[in-house]
A and B are shown apart, each in its own frame.
Chain A
Amino acid sequence: DQQVKQNSPSLSVQEGRISILNCDYTNSMFDYFLWYKKYPAEGPTFLISISSIKDKNEDGRFTVFLNKSAKHLSLHIVPSQPGDSAVYFCAASERTYKYIFGTGTRLKVLA
């Protein structure tokens, strides 16, 4: 039973345009969400997080939006850069000591 889903395995975007990565979850008890970025042969690195008491969190070019009623979060990258090409994982927790990760979306930013 996959509680966190990233339904798009891959996404291609032109440099300078917006990248939108989506994540859906099924557990309404999740109250903390994170996005991680992963380059090949490296471990995931933290990108941005959001608590369920917010619906938006922004950090530079990265913005995460949370829609609790739809159980949906998205990561916006504006403007997209070639160095953003990586696999992006969303993760969720209900503060029970563990995160549940999605399967990732591979973003390719075309120069």
Chain B
Amino acid sequence: DTAVSQTPKYLVTQMGNDKSIKCEQNLGHDTMYWYKQDSKKFLKIMFSYNNKELIINETVPNRFSPKSPDKAHLNLHINSLELGDSAVYFCASSQEPATDTQYFGPGTRLTVL
């Protein structure tokens, strides 16, 4: 029974398109995150939601918009995709922000052509 799941696992799309990645956790956690792992393998936080409220919004282009319909879901919508958006995107969750173990999803590999 998967704790943190993401769909799709792979996403290949053309520049300029709009796409969404979905994330769901069944751990009952209050906090969810989106991370980006780029080609240099840096794992950088993009957003964090706690009880459906945005608590971290790193320097991310406003083409990226997270949406949290409830505590168990945090989706990532990306408008006008660019080549530089190609990366692996990980969703994660934890009970408390920062002071607690984060559980990661399997990742979504986004390729923009």
Q: Give chain A's interface residues, CB within 8 Å of chain B.
A: 32, 34, 36, 41-46, 49, 87, 89, 93, 95-99, 101, 103-104
Contact = CB atoms under 8 A, between A and B. Distances in A.
B98 A93 contact: yes
Interface of B: 4, 35, 40-45, 48, 50, 55-56, 58, 90, 92, 97-99, 101-107
Contacts of B99: 32, 93, 95
The 6 closest A-B pairs by CB, nearest first: A43-B104, A101-B43, A97-B97, A46-B101, A93-B98, A97-B98
Contact of A43 (B44, B45, B50, B105): B105
Contacts, number: 55
B41 A103 contact: yes
B41 A97 contact: no
26 contacts: A32-B99, A34-B101, A36-B104, A42-B107, A43-B4, A43-B104, A43-B107, A44-B90, A45-B104, A46-B101, A89-B43, A93-B98, A93-B99, A96-B98, A97-B97, A98-B45, A98-B98, A99-B45, A99-B102, A101-B43, A101-B44, A103-B40, A103-B41, A103-B42, A104-B41, A104-B43
